[in-house]
Every structure is written in C-alpha cells, then in structure tokens.
Amino acid sequence: MRCANREQMDQILHQTGLNASGQRVTLDQIVLLYQIAAPKTQDEMTGLWSRQIRPRALQHLLSTVRDATSLSSVLYRYSTYWNLLLDDYQFQLTQTGHILTLSLHEQGPQTPQRFGHLLILKLAHGLLSWLAGHEVPVEAVQFAFARPAFAADYAVIFPARASFDAPHSALSFDVDRLGPTQARSAAEMDEFLLRAPRDWMFTNLREHTQSLQIREFLYQSDWSDCQLVEAAAWANITPRTLMRRLDAEGTSFQAIKDALRRDLAIRDLQAGRKSIEEISQDVGFSSAANFHKAFRRWTGTAPGAYRVRLDQTRSPD
C-alpha cells in the first residue's frame, strides 16, 4: 500500500482494527480499510499499482461503462480505460470460440501483487454484475502467483474455481451468457461508489462453488459431528459425487471443516469473550496443546500472542 510513511500505514490499520501480522479479516474490515485508505493515500487503488490512481478515477470508469449496451462492450471499455492509467500492466481482451477472456499482462519484470490482481479483476466482475442486474457467471479465474494457503477462500469472491501459477491473471466468460446491460441512473452510480468496494468485492452464495455451499451447510448445522454422508444427503447427491466435485475444486470435506474450525477460532479470539481453553474445546480440539499447534500452523503465531496484538490495536492512541 502506498502511504507517506510507516506511521500513516499504522494509523490506517489501527482505525480498522487490523495489524500487519497476517490477521484474517472480515468483510466489513476490508470495506472499512478501503474506505479509509483510498482518501488518505489519494489513490483509489490504495497504492497497489506503480502509478497513483487519482480520486474520481472510479467515477469516470463507471461513467465510461454505464452507457455500454452489452456486457461484452463493458469488458472492452474496462480494458481500454485501465490501459490508459496503468504503466506496469496492460489488459488484453481475447475471444477463443465462445470464451471471452480478460487477462492482465505485465509490462516488464513484475512480481504479481496478490491483492492488486484480485481487486482489479473483481472490479471487472463486479461492474459486469451491477450492469447486468445479477451476478454474472464466471467460466474460470486464474492468477499469476502461487497458490496461497487460503486458496479456498477465493470462492467467497469469485463464483468459480481459481487456479494459480498461471502465465497471466485472467477472468473468462461464456459470451453466450453475456447479455445486454440494464440502464443505471446517476443516483445508482453514486450509491455504488459510496459503498465501494462492498458491492463489487463480494458475491451471492447461491452462485458459488460446491465447496462454499458445503461450508455454509456446516456453519448452519452441528458441524463438528457432521460427516460427509450427511453433507451429501443435504446436497442431494451421493457421497462419491460430492468427493469428486470437491476434489475438482481443489479441496476436500475435511479441509472445509478444518477451514471453518480455523475461522470460528479466529472469530472468537477477535471477540474476546472466551478463554483460549474454551475456544479450543468449542472448535473440537482434544487438548489445548493441539489447538496451539494448529493455530500456529494457520496464522504463524500462538493464540495468546494473536490476542495480545489484537488488544494492542484496539487500545487508545
């Protein structure tokens, strides 16, 4: 993130209740971080690209795409708009058969900025969905960086399986499913900008992958005792089919349960109402020692140290 100095970055993180230690964040914290960082850095992409994206750039982008009559035209306008602003990357829009792909190509040696690539591709998908009046289906999403440990979380953002270590970061769509746009008023555009990035960063659970649907089922049920056969019955498929679908998405039933257990533990640590021993029991660990080992594997730190850092970010200046 482009900030004037380390102190400014610390102030931004403090205002959102975050720190720089790898802490997992909520939807509301991401939205708040963007809404604080963009005006403070005077950069509407919060310093994620080599060139500053000056205030009102996103307003001009919306004005540019709002008059398009088709979603394919929206993608074309989106790519040409950013190609006028970015120095380190350029978009290409290509069609092979019925697949239309928006890809991000580096201009010279670059180390892919993980959140920057995610944010600018998600903005394209968010704008398409806003102008379509529904979440536009994504055929594929790929990223030019290594698969992170939390890769399954990308299903919360894109309604498609994400692949990694690709030559370029890209989004692909079926042109037969890219219909016309809906008219959007100036007032609707202002509301979209006011809520940014909430309306373009997060999508509808109904459209998402099998793994995210199973996670939601587990969250709403007695997840700790739930077995794969019960999840398959809920999804109205056989256990073998569920295993095959989850494997195709790069995950497993046990991995989904473990990720949910991790996120529930982190949520309770952030809330601060339970002891570490209580959290350990609630998320199904047979001993506090096993919980400490697992938590260190998830976050790189012990639960006690994680809670101390949270308390420090909440303390008054």
pLDDT of residue 100: 97
Q: Is 310 domain-assigned?
A: yes
* Segment 15-51, tens digit of pLDDT: 666 655 555 556 667 787 888 888 888 899 888 898 8
Do 51 and 187 belong to one domain? yes
If one counts the domains in the chain, the total is 2
Question: From the CA atom positions of the chain, what is the Rg in Å?
Answer: 21
Do 46 and 192 belong to one domain? yes
Nearest to 311 by CA among 87, 9, 14, 103: 14
Q: Is 262 domain-assigned?
A: yes
Among the three residues 155, 173, 201, which one is the final residue of a domain in this structure? 201
Do 197 and 280 belong to one domain? no
Do 195 and 215 belong to one domain? no
Do 227 and 144 belong to one domain? no
To the nearest whole number, what is the mean pLDDT of the chain? 84
- Beta bridge partners, 89, equal 106
Q: Is 29 domain-assigned?
A: no
**Which tokens sit at 244?**
């095959």
Do 171 and 256 belong to one domain? no
Residue 251 CB burial class (10 angstroms; 0-12, 13-18, ≥19): buried
Q: Kindly report the pTM of this predicted structure.
A: 0.70
* Segment 89-135, tens digit of pLDDT: 999 999 999 999 999 999 988 888 888 999 999 999 999 999 998 88
Q: Are 163 and 148 in contact (CB under 8 A)?
A: no
CA distances from 190 to 66, 84, 120, 145, 251 (A): 12, 23, 19, 34, 39
pLDDT of residue 224: 79
- The continuous run of DSSP H or E covering 295 comes out as helix 288-299
Q: Is 21 domain-assigned?
A: no
**Which tokens sit at 107?**
């201009």
- Rounded to an integer, what distance in angstroms lies between the CA atom of residue 190 and that of residue 240? 48
* Model confidence at 2: pLDDT above 70: no
**Which tokens sit at 155?**
């299903």
Q: Which domain holds residue 50?
A: 42-201
Choose between 2 and 83: higher pLDDT.
83
Q: Is 23 domain-assigned?
A: no
* Model confidence at 242: pLDDT above 90: yes
Among the three residues 181, 201, 221, which one is the final residue of a domain in this structure? 201
- Rounded to an integer, what distance in angstroms lies between the CA atom of residue 25 and that of residue 17? 9
Q: Which alpha helices (H) appear in 236-287, and where do they start and end? A: 239-248, 253-271, 276-282
235: CATH? 1.10.10.60
Choose between 251 and 289: higher pLDDT.
289
Do 218 and 163 belong to one domain? no
- Rounded to an integer, what distance in angstroms lies between the CA atom of residue 154 and that of residue 303? 25
* Segment 147-187, tens digit of pLDDT: 887 777 787 788 787 899 999 999 999 999 999 999 999 99
Among the three residues 180, 201, 222, which one is the final residue of a domain in this structure? 201
pLDDT of residue 3: 46
> In the sheet where 169-174 sits, what is the strand order?
89-96, 99-106, 169-174, 140-142, 162-163
Using pLDDT thresholds of 50, 70 and 90, give the confidence band for residue 6. Answer: low
Do 104 and 158 belong to one domain? yes
Do 196 and 307 belong to one domain? no
Using pLDDT thresholds of 50, 70 and 90, give the confidence band for residue 1. Answer: very low
Q: Is 16 domain-assigned?
A: no
Q: Are 115 and 48 in contact (CB under 8 A)?
A: yes
- Beta bridge partners, 170, equal 103, 142
Do 127 and 144 belong to one domain? yes
pLDDT of residue 157: 83
- Rounded to an integer, what distance in angstroms lies between the CA atom of residue 255 and that of residue 251? 6
Do 196 and 214 belong to one domain? no
pLDDT of residue 4: 45
Q: Is 12 domain-assigned?
A: no
Would the CA dihedral through 101, 107, 112, 113 be positive or negative? negative
pLDDT of residue 204: 62
Do 193 and 245 belong to one domain? no
Nearest to 231 by CA among 210, 220, 217, 252: 217
* Model confidence at 223: pLDDT above 90: no
Q: Is 158 domain-assigned?
A: yes
